[in-house]
A and B are shown apart, each in its own frame.
Chain A
Amino acid sequence: MLIKQSEDFKASEVTPESIYRERRRFMQGTLGIASGAALLGGAGLLSPSARAIATDPDAKGEELRYVIESELSTDEELTSYDDITRYNNFYEFGTDKGDPKKHSRRFKPRPWSVSFSGECEKPGVLDLDDVINPHQLEERIYRLRCVEAWSMVIPWVGVPLGPVLERFRPTSKAKYVAFTSVLRPDEMPGQKRSFIDWPYVEGLRIDEAMHPLTLLTVGLYGRVLPNQNGAPIRLVVPWKYGFKSIKSVVSIAFTEDEPPTTWNIENAREYGFYSNVNPEVDHPRWSQKRERRIGFFSKRETLMFNGYADQVAHLYEGMDLAKYY
């Protein structure tokens, strides 16, 4: 079936982009998720025939195929590919914003496997393709708000995390999901220094992990995720500060207790487990009321839950967000 489909899709190579997109929607409508066949990597997805929606003349890397638009995308002006890929917090490659781009060239994002373990019925270690392929790739244009009071608008490509997690049949004890980044000091010079207890770890409550906004991300601007942005697979949780969106994930575990998270271990007073974007709760060393959108000079107001309050506020009903920051 997959082969047949990709033959079918070859037609798009000679189809103007707009028609191609229309057809994608049609396919999606008729075949639903099954049509996804979102092959990533070797098999076929990386052939140059398909286009994601957002483009940037500076964008590099292999194009992802069979990407559909999402209702959950914002229509705000996109941050440039250049800025998204040269201004990064990814301490595994160094603490300066420019370090990840400079020092991530030797990093090898393939082959890659992800282990799923803990409180679930079907644990397993899967190749990246097998994690992603059964699902439909979507472009999700999200705001990203860094805890350092800057923000971007990024066209991610990925699959919703929830359906991926369901495949491993989490049990009723699965109250949280713990994520772990890769540990490769030889390829990640920042990990040679022990100022952080590597590897980087993060966590979500299970309902946060299952939320439709939570994206398991493999690309941006329609292309394979660059190393400096967390290749080959990262989390994107748009209503939380950027550091919650853990990069280069190798392990996902269902847990009963709240898992430890790197920045909370480093500095519990400044970084909590939840770390929801919240203009009312300041970081001890700076205000969170405003943010600088990269590409703009003056600051703008920061929105509650980074503007996703309508979708996520109910997750935190009755919680004191100043206490659970």
Chain B
Amino acid sequence: MNGERRRSGGVARTGPPRWLKPALFAAALIPFGYLAVGLLADGLGANPVETITHVSGEWALRLLLLTLLVTPLRRATGLTWLVRLRRMLGLFAFFYVVVHFTTYALLDAGLDLAYVVEDVLDRPYITVGFVTLCALVPLAATSTDAMIRRLGGARWRRLHRLAYFAGAGAVLHFLWLAFSKSDLREPLIYFAILVVLLVARLPAVAARLGRLAPRRVAAPARADPPPPSPAKRQAAR
């Protein structure tokens, strides 16, 4: 889809700065690099498995929330090309969830399926994590251009609202876990961010955000062509 738009739009101005995507890609790999190098160099502390679980879990959550930030940010700034970063952010979020879950399945559960099933059924925070993981699978699976075309914009958009559900699930998973330690500060920060992101989606708020965009307010004189037809955009998120 990105490619399509670049071809039809054709102008550099509508795309992200050329360095941005590779830079973001590299940045999103930093936590993974840290874990990989740390694992090989014995640099992940006294309990490396726990470190991997925590780092991967937190980055999955952060990237998921960043993914959800794209649309409000686009509305507020008028920078439509921000949407083109979203797929990468979402897929990296999924990547870290996979690392997270694989670590758990391999090193916590020792690939013991009965152990995993018992955990998922008996332990609410794992149940929530698992449901969240399940919600992210179809999102990752339908992230290709071909799948977007096959589903059609409207259905694809509806399906991808699951991302909000997943964000909420991830925050709940973290909250539930932290509850046992009586220290909810960190998950509450993520909770607050999630609430802000959800509120930003309320139609009234979204409209206000739109009015902030410099493009419409500050540059009425410019004879820009209208943005690509709304039906083709993934804007609804």
Q: A interface vs B, CB < 8 Å?
A: 82-83, 86-87, 91, 95, 97-98, 150, 195-196, 266-267, 270, 282-287, 292, 294-295, 297-299
Residues of B within 8 A of A297 (CB): 48-49, 107
Residues of A within 8 A of B49 (CB): 292, 297
Question: Given A285-B125, A297-B107, do A196 and B182 touch, yes or no (CB 8 Å)?
Answer: yes
A87–B46 contact, CB under 8 A? yes
Which of the residues A87, A95, A284 comes within 8 Å of B181, measured between beta carbons?
A: A95
Question: Given A285-B123, A299-B108, do A97 and B180 touch, yes or no (CB 8 Å)?
Answer: no
Which of the residues B45, B122, B183 comes within 8 Å of A97, measured between beta carbons?
A: B45
Q: A83-B46, A97-B47, A298-B107 are in contact. List 9 more A-B contacts (CB 8 A).
A: A82-B46, A87-B46, A98-B45, A196-B182, A283-B180, A285-B123, A285-B124, A294-B47, A297-B48
Residues of A within 8 A of B125 (CB): 285
Q: Is the interface of A mostly helix, strand, loop or mixed?
A: loop
Nearest Cβ on chain B to A221's Cβ, whole angstroms: 15
Compute how far the CA of A214 lies from the CA of B124 in the bound complex, rounded to whole angstroms: 35
Determine if B115 is an interface residue (Cβ-Cβ < 8 Å): yes
Give residues 177-191 of B contacting A (CB, 8 Å): 177, 180-184
Which of the residues A270, A282, A285, A292 comes within 8 Å of B177, measured between beta carbons?
A: A285
A285–B180 contact, CB under 8 A? yes
19 A-B interface contacts by CB (under 8 A): A83-B46, A87-B45, A87-B46, A87-B47, A91-B183, A95-B181, A97-B46, A97-B50, A150-B47, A150-B50, A195-B182, A196-B182, A285-B176, A285-B180, A292-B47, A297-B48, A297-B107, A298-B107, A298-B110
Nearest Cβ on chain A to B72's Cβ, whole angstroms: 31
Residues of B within 8 A of A282 (CB): 122
A287–B183 contact, CB under 8 A? no
Total number of A-B contacts with CB less than 8 angstroms? 53
Residues of B within 8 A of A286 (CB): 119, 123
- The 7 A-B pairs with the shortest beta carbon distances in the complex, nearest first, are A87-B46, A83-B46, A95-B183, A195-B182, A294-B46, A285-B123, A266-B182
B46–A86 contact, CB under 8 A? yes
B119–A287 contact, CB under 8 A? yes
Compute how far the CA of A110 lies from the CA of B46 in the bound complex, rounded to whole angstroms: 29
Question: Given A299-B108, A299-B110, do A287 and B118 touch, yes or no (CB 8 Å)?
Answer: yes
B180–A270 contact, CB under 8 A? yes
Which residue on A lies nearest to B182, using beta carbons? A195
Compute how far the CA of A297 lies from the CA of B125 in the bound complex, rounded to whole angstroms: 23
Nearest Cβ on chain A to B35's Cβ, whole angstroms: 14
Residues of A within 8 A of B184 (CB): 195
Which residue on B lies nearest to A271, using beta carbons? B180
Nearest Cβ on chain A to B9's Cβ, whole angstroms: 48
Compute how far the CA of A285 lies from the CA of B179 in the bound complex, rounded to whole angstroms: 10
